[in-house]
Structure 1
Amino acid sequence: MTKSALIVWGGWDGHTPEQSARLVGAMLEEHGFAVEIEPTTEAFADAALGRFDLIIPAITMSRIEKEELTNLLAAVRAGSGLAGFHGLMCDSFRNEPDYQFMVGGQWVAHPGNIIDFTVNVTRADDPIMQGIEDFPYHSEQYYLHFDPSIEVLATTTFSGEYFEEIDGVVMPVVWKRRFGKGRVFHSTLGHVVDEFQVPQMRTIFERGALWAAR
């Protein structure tokens, strides 16, 4: 049976939402998914939203109507998977704590902006991370407020170079969790579409999205 995915893009253009959404859509189609791509959160108001096996928000900041959010939360709780990357999922709707609770983390800062840092694999035994070792990365190093119940698969450690008070802080980069009957996956990597050219970044997201799908 063909699996289905909904990708909804929008918000701040600096995160290349449409380009990233279309790349991810093509990626899922290679795995046999029937993919729908929509440019507005109105797609979340669909009464049949739960028919999708996977939902991917690619929206930074912006706003979501209460009925749209209620419907999205219900769909994931009932078994639709949720997967996303960078601020296109963990900084989508700043005024909606119910959404942040589902995701498991919320962006709050990226000291130094675009910098070099290291991604440390903490769960090499997890199928999503299998064969991937610690790797260097050049992007925004996300500082988050996160839920301690998430299952962390990779982390990064902050230096005090840009903000001395966080020297040595270890922060999640990749995680997964359950939300009702649904699976939720997130990677903080993917500031712009070009980052999908980094093999480790692409592989981690691809595997995570497939894991999240019902």
Structure 2
Amino acid sequence: MSAKALIFYGGWEGHEPEACAAIVEEMLQAEGFDVRSEAGVAVLGEADLARFDLIVPMCTQVSIDQVPLERLCTAIEAGTGLAGFHGGMGDTFRDAPAYQFMAGGQWVAHPGDILDYRVEIAQPQHPLMEGIDDFEYRSEQYFLHVDPGNEVLATTTFDGSHAPWIAGTVMPVVWTRRHGRGRVFYSALGHQASEFTNPQMREILRRGLVWASRTTDSRETGT
């Protein structure tokens, strides 16, 4: 039986949620997932979330009522995976601390907006990072409030050009974590659909999506 994935997308149009959702849907289908992709968050109140092996949020700056939020958190705690990227996951429900606790972080700034920066692999032997070297990237360099319990797989260092007081700050870019029985994966990379042409960004996300799913062989590797 195929693994089942749910993508819910929407919110701020600057992140091109519909286009990004279509790309991720194709990625997951190529990995053998049966994918349901829905605009908005209504699906979180309608669907039996526990039947999904993976949930991928792509909704920047949206709100959610308490009952569907609780249903989402309960599904992840019970073993459904949660995985996503950039503001679609890192700034989904900014007024919902329970979601941020589950995701492991929350976006707060991107000093300088679009710029060139370096992504440094923190754990090159980890299954999600194996064979990927440090690389240059052009996008928003995310400054996040993060859970110190995250397993950080990649970082970036702020040089202070646009906010001198954060010069030298090492910020997580990619992390994994547990939330109950569920696996959680996050990558700060992927501001718009065009960034999927970056091979490192795309491969890291592909691996993370598969890793987080409840029913994949990757359960036997990593954390």
> What TM-score comes out, normalization by structure 2 length?
0.95
3-state SS of the aligned residue for 1:41?
coil
**Runs of at least 4 residues off by over 4 Å:** none
Aligned pairs for 1:159-170 (under 5 A) are: 159-170=159-170
3-state SS of the aligned residue for 2:42?
helix
C-alpha distance in 1 between matches for 2:34 and 2:47 = 19
After superposition, the C-alpha distances for 1:65-95 in whole angstroms (9 at most, x for unaligned) are 1111000000000000000000000101111
After superposition, the C-alpha distances for 1:110-166 in whole angstroms (9 at most, x for unaligned) are 000000000000010111111000000000000010000000000000011101000
Aligned pairs for 1:47-126 (under 5 A) are: 48-126=48-126
Name the count of aligned residue pairs.
214
C-alpha distance in 2 between matches for 1:160 and 1:49 = 42
After superposition, the C-alpha distances for 1:156-180 in whole angstroms (9 at most, x for unaligned) are 0001110100000000000000000
Q: Tell me what 1:180 maps to.
A: 180
Gaps of 5+ in 1: none
Contact 1:28 1:35 in 2 (8 A): yes
- CA RMSD between the two structures: 0.6
> What TM-score comes out, normalization by structure 1 length?
0.99
Q: Tell me what 2:24 maps to.
A: 24
After superposition, the C-alpha distances for 1:9-31 in whole angstroms (9 at most, x for unaligned) are 01000000011011100100011
Q: Tell me what 1:44 maps to.
A: 44
Aligned pairs for 1:123-142 (under 5 A) are: 123-142=123-142
C-alpha distance in 1 between matches for 2:89 and 2:47 = 22
After superposition, the C-alpha distances for 1:166-200 in whole angstroms (9 at most, x for unaligned) are 00000000000000000000000000011011000
C-alpha distance in 2 between matches for 1:162 and 1:47 = 43
Q: Which amino acid aligns with 1:136?
A: E
